[in-house]
Amino acid sequence: MNHRHALLALAIGASLALSACKREPTATPDAAQPVATAGAPADETADAFVARVNAELKAMYPELTAAQWLSSTYINDDSQLLAAKANEKFLTSLNSWIEQSKKFEGQQMSPETARAITLLKLGTAMPAPKDPARLSELTRIATKMEGMYGAGTYCKAAGDSQSCRQLGELEEVLAKSRDYDAQLDAWQGWHTIARPMREDYTRFVELVNEGSRELGYANTGEMWRAGYDMSPVELAAETDRLWGQVKPLYEQLHCYARTRLEAQYPGRGSVDGLLPAHLMGNMWQQDWGNLWDVLAPYGEQQAGSLDVGGALQRQYQSVLNDHLARENALIDTDRRVEVVRKAQLEHAQQMTRQAEEFYTSLGMPALPESYWQKTQFIKPRDRDVVCHASAWDMNMGGEDGKSPDVRTKMCIKPNEEDFFTIYHELGHVYYYLAYNNLPPLFQGGAHDGFHEAIGDTIELAMTPAYLKSIGLVGDQQPSQEALINAQMRMALAKVAFMPFGLMIDRWRWGVFDGSITPENYNTAWWDLKAKYQGVAPATARGEDFFDAGAKYHVPGNTPYTRYFLSHVLQFQFYKALCDAAGHQGPLYECTFAGNKAGGGKFWAMLSRGNSQPWQQTMKELTGTEQMDASAVLEYFSPLQEWLRQQNEGRSCGWQAPAAAAAADPAPAKGAAPGNG
Ligand code: X8Z
Ligand code: ZN
């Protein structure tokens, strides 16, 4: 639930209930009964209506989230049946509330009440048709797709289960192997799991579009863009404007990475000037941090070490050794497996404690005890789960006397990426805890990009000095080389992400508005990858593939523009907290760990939830009402200057296929980058 409206959002940021997809094998006749306007007194005022919806929503929420949690942590037909049913019930109620709200149109009411009613209409990323059969079909398809993703398995040799690998193992190959063919096999292998989703996704689009039209939106993309306290057209223009600010920096990074890759893989380190999709250390090329061995500006001799992953691995080993030391020397294989799992769990919890400590050092509360009992920290070995990380608010703070039930769901491994992701997820959890006192309809991020930006703001404060303070890296000798290395490490996560954060919904906006048709799904996908990221597949990816489906948020139906916006906002928030903490000196040196003044301001913002237009919430924290990427550029200015020097004399930029511009429903100004 960390979607715009809490209510629905499940957190992985994802929209919960709503997008969650649970399988419903058979539509039963009673599903066909609209829940309807039962319980709507004829003389109900708008205020009373909103109060009733808040109460009904809160009352039905725990059953919905319980079903969703179960189906994501225990994928099987039974759990999916229950989750689909719960989702169907919820979406039917939502449609009914929206219907009931219409009688208040044009009436005088307080701004809060008007806002609550507006939020109701935006209450799900998966608006369902009113027709009960089609509503049921929608939840069935959505469930099926998410289940296919969660259970996705690639078997290199058909029929040989020894050769089967799931996402985590395939990602590991991309992260660690530098063998061209092994990476290509892992990349192509994962993408096989999405091919069978194409038809389902096509139908899914028809059904959510029907739901969106019934709500008065032209299509689902427009509905998604309507959730930002500005018009959908304005929001699209905002994303163009913000991307325009960051694009020159990205182009420099791209140019630098390409040069290094071409040196690493002579003759095949680029594809017509684009970066090969399988060589970026990440399945989707959204975070290049795993390519540190290829892309580090300076070696450890010159710049010192920032090997967080290595340190985490050593920590884990020592936890394991402690456990093994307590065992009999002749431990058998089964027992060893148990001990290893114990050590993995304990270390994953340690990593999470470390992240919690950052938040409590800002003056925020400790996580509730139930968090530790109910969270999924590591991948269970006896069943399929959706490993994609998410944060959950199970009960919106709970009824009087009950405590909040918040959790995260991850498959944590002792590496740097997962360590950062824990901080990200706890950002969602602290947002929940901060706004749990608000009426349910206001329990959401100021907009969904805010929800994604909280933990990431903390990530920016994880400077080398902070990492040293928690024992993950050694002494840091200040030098120009060390600075550039630290900046590069952050840029590979944050700057590399931005065009990816944009292109996913450029594709979906086009799919929803019909400018991208099923016959062109894959071509349009790669055209947009080329245009924004400058990334290309090493081998042809025709329409027999459905490569969009290999990214969680597509089968999971989680809107993605939120992450792009978050990558702008988090730098603004970071700067504001650094100011509040009295930081002097360059922005990139600031860490506000332990600072209660900054922490108090942050908490105040979180406590606002979605109770007022985000511009107001933003102003209270940062002094401005505008999203703006200048803090990104300020932060990275040393790196940008360094990249300019590195790239001097090189011909930077890339030519996207001509079709890209045509396929893009919201083209950024200018074609593909000309040069750097
Ligand atoms: O999905 C996520 C989080 C949960 S909201 C793990 N993220 C995006 C992704 O993985 O694609 C965080 C960064 C972008
Ligand atoms: Zn998130």
Residue 387 CA to ligand 1 center (angstroms) comes to 12
Mean pLDDT along residues 612-625: 98
Residue 328 CA to ligand 1 center (angstroms) comes to 42
The question of whether 424 is a catalytic residue gets the answer yes
State the closest ligand 1 atom to the C-alpha of 388, by its place in the atom list counted from 1: 6
Q: In this predicted structure, what is the pLDDT of residue 436?
A: 96
Q: In this predicted structure, what is the pLDDT of residue 39?
A: 65
Q: In this predicted structure, what is the pLDDT of residue 662?
A: 52
Give residue 668's pLDDT band: very low, low, confident or very high (50, 70, 90).
very low
Cβ(13) – ligand 1 distance below 6 Å: yes
Is residue 13 within a helix (H) or strand (E), and if so which, with residue range?
A: none
Mean pLDDT along residues 12-20: 30
- Per the DSSP assignment, residues forming a β-bridge with 276 are 536
Instruction: Please answer whether residues 449 and 565 qualify as being in contact, where contact means their C-beta atoms are separated by less than 8 angstroms.
Output: yes
Whether residue 8 has pLDDT greater than 50: no
Residue at 246: amino acid letter: V
Q: In this predicted structure, what is the pLDDT of residue 234?
A: 98
Q: What angle do CA 195, 198, 201 make, to 5 degrees?
A: 140
Question: For residue range 263-278, what is the model confidence (pLDDT) as tens digits?
Answer: 999 999 999 999 999 9
Which of 452, 508, 551, 552 has the most ligand 1 atoms within 8 A of CB, as the residue to mutate? Answer: 452
Mean pLDDT along residues 75-86: 91
Nearest C-alpha neighbor of 381 from the set 615, 168, 97: 168
Residue 585 CA to ligand 1 center (angstroms) comes to 31
The question of whether 388 is a catalytic residue gets the answer yes
Mean pLDDT along residues 528-543: 98
Question: Chain-wide mean pLDDT for the chain?
Answer: 92
Whether residue 670 has pLDDT greater than 80: no
Q: What angle do CA 657, 658, 660 make, to 5 degrees?
A: 75
Whether residue 552 has pLDDT greater than 80: yes
DSSP 3-state percent helix, strand, coil across the chain (nearest 5):
60, 5, 35
Instruction: Please answer whether residues 366 and 360 qualify as being in contact, where contact means their C-beta atoms are separated by less than 8 angstroms.
Output: yes
Question: For residue range 147-206, what is the model confidence (pLDDT) as tens digits?
Answer: 999 999 999 998 898 999 999 999 999 999 999 999 999 999 999 999 999 999 999 999
Question: For residue range 298-356, what is the model confidence (pLDDT) as tens digits?
Answer: 999 999 889 999 999 999 999 999 999 999 888 899 999 999 999 999 999 999 999 99
Query: Which tokens in the block code for residue 516?
Result: 């991208």
Residue nearest to atom 4 of ligand 1 (CA): 12
The question of whether 553 is a catalytic residue gets the answer yes
Catalytic residue among 254, 424, 447, 567: 424
Rounded Cα distance, 309 and 462, in Å: 14
Query: Whole-model pTM?
Result: 0.93
Give residue 402's pLDDT band: very low, low, confident or very high (50, 70, 90).
confident
Residue 443 CA to ligand 1 center (angstroms) comes to 20
Q: List the beta strands (DSSP E) in 85-210.
A: 153-155, 164-166
Residue nearest to atom 1 of ligand 1 (CA): 12
The question of whether 199 is a catalytic residue gets the answer no
The question of whether 3 is a catalytic residue gets the answer no
Residue 16 CA to ligand 2 center (angstroms) comes to 12
Whether residue 34 has pLDDT greater than 60: no
Q: What count of Cα atoms within 13 Å lies in the side-chain half-sphere of residue 54?
A: 21
Rounded Cα distance, 648 and 426, in Å: 41
Give residue 664's pLDDT band: very low, low, confident or very high (50, 70, 90).
low
Cβ(1) – ligand 1 distance below 6 Å: no
Whether residue 675 has pLDDT greater than 50: no
Which of 388, 429, 458 has the most ligand 1 atoms within 8 A of CB, as the residue to mutate? Answer: 388
Q: In this predicted structure, what is the pLDDT of residue 158?
A: 86
Rounded Cα distance, 119 and 445, in Å: 12
The question of whether 172 is a catalytic residue gets the answer no
Q: Where are the domains of the chain?
A: 307-475+562-627
Closest ligand to C-alpha of residue 429 is 2
Whether residue 29 has pLDDT greater than 50: no
Query: Which tokens in the block code for residue 307?
Result: 């090997």
Rounded Cα distance, 526 and 545, in Å: 11
Query: Which tokens in the block code for residue 92?
Result: 């039917």
Catalytic residue among 316, 435, 560, 563: 563
Instruction: Please answer whether residues 586 and 635 qualify as being in contact, where contact means their C-beta atoms are separated by less than 8 angstroms.
Output: no
